[in-house]
Each structure stands twice: as structure tokens, then as C-alpha cells.
Amino acid sequence: MLSSRFLRPAAARVSATRFMSSHTFDISGCFETHNFETAPAESVEATKDELVSMFELMYTMRRMEITCDNEYKARTIRGFCHLYDGQEAVATGIENALTHDDSWITSYRCHCVALCRGGSVSKVVGELFGVADGYSGAKGGSMHMYNKEHNFYGGAGIVGAQVPVGSGLAFANKYNQKPGEPMNVAIACYGDGAANQGQIWEAANMSALWKLPMIFCIENNHYGMGTSMERHSSINDYYKMGNAIPGLRIDGMNVLAVKEGMRFAKEYCGAGNGPMYIEMMTYRYHGHSMSDPGTTYRNREEIDFTRSTRDPLEFIKKCLMDAEFMTKEEITATEKRIRKEVQAEVLEAKKSSPPGLDQLTTDIYAKDLTPGNQAYPDFIRMPDFANSKTFNN
């Protein structure tokens, strides 16, 4: 079962105060700290444009992932597919707190982060379809999307492998710091199922020793694959796992709390104070992947309860209405528009074709660091069947 903490309905924590073209929202009770003398603010101000933009991004994520679910069942998407619906507030809040000068790397549940960092629905879904116009040119698939231009260093297919890479990105950001300016930060997102990996401890140790601007972000959706956190981890307060490293637990279903918490983290780490552990208390509606029904280790009532009391989209819609930024009818019209836009982009992705055979030798060898300046091998080495003991026995 879920921890009793953060189960209070998100909508119950919403209150708004009129202030010209913006509103101040109460986010008290959304944070817990470890080894900190300060904490994020208990209120956050947001303009109509900011709140509408976050809502539209989150709803686009939701519709894109539901579409991926349907396309997978129709067998137009094959292979691994890890969906993000339920966790939209985490990626959206991070995106709104950081800039594209900050580095971001995440796990294989990366569709929505790719969308945040310069992607489009057609490119993300096209990558899942395996077409040339996909996010990674059909060479990455669901787990490997990448956008260096916007400092998105991809989804990592190996559990926890992105975290030491994130520390390397933080090292580069410190190395490239401009005199007198805050450092750009690096964030590595990973799940509670990866939180006890040895490579994470090593990365955290180096980050602390060298005071790197590194954010270790645990997206705690309560289940490492099909095992509850109570069964797979001896510690469930993941934000305390850095020991001497300060930690912050955030209500990951509240996009305003995520944004304020990440603003606090960026300011702290960018000022040269070293790394921070962040635990986002969130929840995934789908199973671990499309091969997991998600109901053998948890019951349908638990999923329905979370949807009805803590859904991140319902929370932001209530914020919009409480602030009188949008009416219920305007929200419904926006949702209909986005559904049509997502469907149109999916149809656009389906018009593309798989990459040609000439692409087999591209993006493998580079002559130098100039983008696109590639070296091409004379041939692709194949197995030496004549001298193979396996094939000659």
C-alpha cells in the first residue's frame, strides 16, 4: 500500500489570493527537508500564462501517453514502452524551474521529458513507430531520446546508469562556470527501484566531495517494476539517502510545489553548495511497461483512489478555476483542441517511413567534435563463420 504521507487530496491544499494578473497559491505541507536550515516557500505566485502553459503541456503529455498505449495495443508500436501518465507534474515542474542551459538526463521512462526539451508529439511517437522522422531517427526507440541542443542527454535503458552520467554533466557545468555567475545545474531522474544502486552512491560521494551542482531526483512512484517500495528498500525516506547531502521531499502530484521545490534546488546547487537529493512523491497509472498490466501487485481500487484524489491534471484545473484564469467550459474546449492536435501529430508521424539501409553506418564514428562530421567504415564487420568454433562444431 502507499505511504500515508502525501495521500491528502491535492485539491484540498489549494487556495488562491487575487493579485492583479497573478495569483498566490498555498503549497504548505508539500515539502519535507533533511539537513536543511531553510526550505522552499510555502506559497508560490503564478500568472495566467504560466498556469495555462503548464496545464497544456501536462494534458499533451497525458494524451500522448494514452495514444501510445492504444498504438501499442494495435501493434503499430513494438518493443519496450514505459509510459509516464500520472507523473506529468514532475517533468512539467522541473521544466518550468530550470532552463535549457541546465543539463537533464533521465531513465527509460523518457517520452515526456523529451517533449519538454524541444520535442513534439510527432517526433516522440514517430520514434516509437520506428520512422526516420522520429526523435532519434528511429535508432533509439522508446528508451533513448536525446537532444544535445537543449541539454537533454537522453533516457538510459540501464537501470540507474544515467545517474553517474548526470554527475559528469554537473562536473562539466562547474568546470564551465562563468566567473561571478551561478553554475548551471544538472539533474538525473531515476525511480525508487534504482535508488539503492551502487553506482548512485559512488556518484553522490564524488558530487559531495567536489561540491558539484548535481540534483539526484528520485521519482518515487512507489513500485520498482512490480515490487512495492516497502518490500524492495530498507529505507523509504529516499530524500534522506544522501546522508550528509541535504534532501528535499516534494509532493510530486502538485506541479506548483514541484516548480517551487526545483527553483529552491537550482538556487542552492547553483550557488556552489554541492549536490541535493530530491524525492518526488508521485504515482504511475500504467504498469511498469506495456507488458505489465499493473494490477497483479496493486489493486484497481488503489489506482482509482489516486486518480480521484491526487490526479495532477485535476489539481491544476482546479487552480485555474479557483484563480478565475479559466472556466470549466474553457478547460474542456482546450482539452478537445489538444486531443485533436495530438491525433493530427500521430497521423503525421505515420506518414514517415523507416530509415533506409544507408543509415546503418551513420551516427557511429565521428571524425571530430563538429556536429554531423562523421567517418564511415568501409564495411560493417559481420561474424567470421569460417573460423567460428560455435558454427564449426
pLDDT of residue 1: 41
pLDDT of residue 389: 61
Which phi and psi angles does 29 have, rounded to 5°?
85, 0
Do 216 and 163 meet the contact criterion of CB atoms below 8 Å apart? yes
Specify the length of the chain in residues: 393
Q: List the one residue out of 175, 179, 257 whose CA is nearest residue 214.
A: 175
Share of the chain above pLDDT 70, in %: 92
Q: Are strands 365-366 and 276-281 parallel, antiparallel or unpaired?
A: unpaired
Residue with cell 568501409: 378
Ranges of the chain with pLDDT below 50: 1-20, 391
Which phi and psi angles does 241 have, rounded to 5°?
-70, -15
Cell (9 digits) for 290: 506495456
pLDDT of residue 366: 85
Cβ contacts of 253 within 8 Å, gap of 6 or more: 6, 10, 89, 281, 282, 283, 310, 311, 312, 315
Residue with cell 506559497: 43
CATH, domain 29-364, list 2.40.40.20, 3.40.250.10, 3.60.21.10, 3.40.50.970: 3.40.50.970
Cβ contacts of 62 within 8 Å, gap of 6 or more: 85, 88, 313
Q: List the one residue out of 110, 83, 99, 47 whose CA is nearest residue 262.
A: 99
pLDDT digits (tens, 9 = 90+) for 5-49: 444 444 434 444 444 489 999 999 999 999 999 999 999 999 999
Do 148 and 117 meet the contact criterion of CB atoms below 8 Å apart? no
- The CA distance from 124 to 122, in Å, is 6
- The CA distance from 92 to 154, in Å, is 16
**pTM assigned to the model:** 0.90
Cell (9 digits) for 147: 537532444
